[in-house]
């Protein structure tokens, strides 16, 4: 969506600009003869009538905007910089909604005038054609403005701008599940590269035959959560495993969890709820790795979450990483509970972070990825190379559609 220029607070008394007035046709025409246009230039019917729920929301937004403009002119508010800034910000957030709504009303008015003009000036075929073209143009503009207004009224996800912790766990399928988990990790690493995100391994547990039992990565960048939040769930693969000698197709799964980054003030961890033990990291590494107990084994008693962190070179660094991951996991639980409470009526799991449902099937034989939420297919080879943006955007569009339905239902209007 193209953003309109926000009005500065210095211009709060100036009415928001309407769309430019279109040239009116037939201003000097005589009104003595009323002849309707010939059938070939019959004016189209008005096809864009804003739904009642939309008008209700828009009128409320415009009233709020006007109330804020009055408050900003109050000397007491002007003398209080903090209060003034708060109100000015609230008003700025409504500027685009109000300016677009006023364009919508202006366009609607022009359309009605053009329709009336068509009835009064139908004796000239050329004029009738021009008016019909004007009506068609205005009708299309009205539809576009209404769709834009619907989107502008949608609540934004406050977590969209956050960085994330991405966890991939091998599920059903034995050794093949671990190999599949490794394939998913590489897919998300490639997608992160395409978006210029920084991807850092936090902890990993390798599987015996390759791949991973568990992997946690920290992904930082521009609006990471807004794109990867739709990846939470069970990813199923159907293929002939590397471990299969007879060429039979097996079905395996891996679970992906997307955890938005949490601040310490958002998730308070009571030290009494934590059991911390240390161990030697083991495996390949520097001289320090096998001699000093740098690994951290953290257990959170209320939830049963256990984190074993060995990736960093010092005990303090591993402890910090373990607590960071615990905080993210607890925050994900908190967010998921809130979403489930708010959207108990929604059957679709898009945007809910539900991890117990199968969201995709990756079929190697047919080179096909099926997203079960979208009921759409994608090419497997390209998908595993990190080209998942089409699926991400489709999930975002689906969520937007559901939010529009909820918006309609919130004011008692039919959602269809």
- Give the model confidence (pLDDT) of 187-222 as tens digits: 999 999 999 999 998 888 888 888 888 898 999 998
Residue 13 has pLDDT above 50, yes or no: no
For the sheet containing 358-363, what is the strand order? 198-206, 212-220, 164-170, 250-260, 233-239, 358-363, 368-371, 376-379
Q: In sequence order, which residues have a C-beta less than 8 Å from that of residue 185 and are 6 or more positions away? A: 168, 212, 215, 217
- Three-state DSSP string of the chain: CCCCCCCCHHHCCCCCCCCCCCCCCCCCCCCCCCCCCCHHHCCCCCCCCCCHHHHHHHHHHHHHHHHHHHHHCCHHHHCCHHHHHHHHHHHHHHHHHHHHHHHHHHHHHHHHHHHHHHHHCCCCHHHHHHHHHHHHHHHHHHHHHHHHHHHHCCCCCCCCCCCEEEEEEECCCCHHHHHHHHHHHHHHHHHHHHCCCEEEEEEEEECCCCCEEEEEEEEECCCHHHHHHHHCEEEEEEECCCCCCCCCCEEEEEEEEEEECCCCCCCCCCHHHEEEEEECCCCCCCCCCCCCCCEEEEEECCCCEEEEECCCCCHHHHHHHHHHHHHHHHHHHHHHHHHHHHCCCCCCCCCCCCCCCEEEEEECCCCEEEECCCCEEEEHHHHHCCCCHHHHHHHHHHHHHHHHHHHHHHCCCCCC
Q: What is the CA radius of gyration of the chain?
A: 29
**Region of poorest pLDDT, from 23-27, 183-187, 269-273, 326-330:** 23-27
Condensed to tens digits (0 to 9), the pLDDT of residues 110-148 reads 999 988 888 877 677 888 888 888 989 999 999 888 888
pLDDT digit string, tens, across residues 70-112:
999 999 989 998 888 888 888 887 888 899 999 999 999 999 9
Question: Global pTM?
Answer: 0.57
Q: For position 329, what pLDDT does the model report?
A: 82
- Confidence at residue 282, expressed as pLDDT on a 0 to 100 scale: 57
- Write the pLDDT tens digit of every residue in 401-410: 888 777 667 6
Q: Which residues contact 384 (CB under 8 A, 6 or more apart)?
A: 183, 186, 187, 362
Contacts of 405 (CB under 8 A, 6+ apart): 415
pLDDT, position 357 = 63
Question: At 343, is the pLDDT very low, low, confident or very high (cuts 50, 70, 90)?
Answer: low
Alpha-carbon separation of residue 174 from 177, 232, 236, 240, 254 (angstroms): 5, 21, 13, 13, 11
């Amino acid at each position: 969506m193209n953003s309109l220029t926000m009005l500065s607070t210095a211009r709060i008394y100036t009415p928001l600009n309407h769309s430019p007035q279109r040239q009116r046709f037939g201003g000097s025409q005589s009104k003595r003869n009323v002849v309707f246009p010939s059938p070939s230039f019959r004016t189209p019917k008005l096809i864009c009538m804003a739904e009642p729920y939309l008008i209700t929301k828009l009128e409320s937004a415009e009233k709020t905007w006007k109330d804020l403009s009055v408050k900003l002119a109050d000397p007491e508010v002007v003398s209080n910089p903090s209060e003034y800034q708060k109100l000015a910000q609230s008003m700025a957030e409504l500027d685009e909604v109000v300016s677009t709504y006023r364009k919508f009303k202006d366009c609607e008015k022009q359309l009605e005038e053009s329709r009336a003009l068509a009835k009064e000036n139908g004796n000239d075929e050329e004029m009738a054609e021009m008016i019909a073209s004007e009506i068609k143009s205005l009708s299309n503009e009205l539809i576009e403005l209404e769709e834009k207004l619907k989107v502008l009224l949608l609540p934004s996800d406050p977590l969209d701008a956050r960085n994330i912790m991405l966890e991939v766990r091998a599920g059903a399928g034995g050794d093949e599940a671990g190999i599949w988990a490794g394939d998913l990790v590489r897919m998300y690493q490639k997608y992160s590269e395409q978006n210029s995100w920084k991807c850092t391994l936090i902890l990993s547990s390798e599987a015996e035959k390759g791949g991973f039992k568990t992997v946690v990565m920290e992904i930082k960048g521009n609006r990471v959560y807004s794109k990867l939040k739709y990846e939470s769930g069970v990813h199923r693969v159907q293929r002939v495993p590397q471990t299969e000698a007879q060429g039979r197709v097996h079905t395996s799964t891996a679970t992906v969890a997307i955890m938005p980054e949490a601040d310490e003030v958002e998730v308070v961890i009571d030290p009494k709820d934590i059991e911390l033990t240390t161990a030697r990291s083991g495996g390949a590494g520097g001289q320090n790795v096998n001699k000093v107990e740098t690994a951290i084994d953290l257990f959170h008693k209320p939830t049963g979450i256990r984190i074993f962190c060995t990736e960093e070179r010092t005990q303090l660094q591993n402890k910090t990483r373990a607590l960071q991951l615990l905080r993210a996991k607890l925050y994900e639980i908190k967010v998921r509970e809130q979403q489930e409470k708010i959207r108990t009526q929604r059957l679709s799991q898009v945007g809910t972070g539900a991890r117990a449902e199968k969201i995709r099937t990756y079929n190697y034989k047919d080179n096909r990825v099926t997203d079960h939420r979208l009921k759409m297919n994608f090419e497997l080879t390209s998908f595993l190379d990190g080209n998942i943006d089409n699926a991400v955007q489709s999930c975002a569009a689906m969520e937007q559609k559901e939010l529009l339905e909820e918006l309609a239902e919130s004011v008692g209007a039919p959602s269809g």
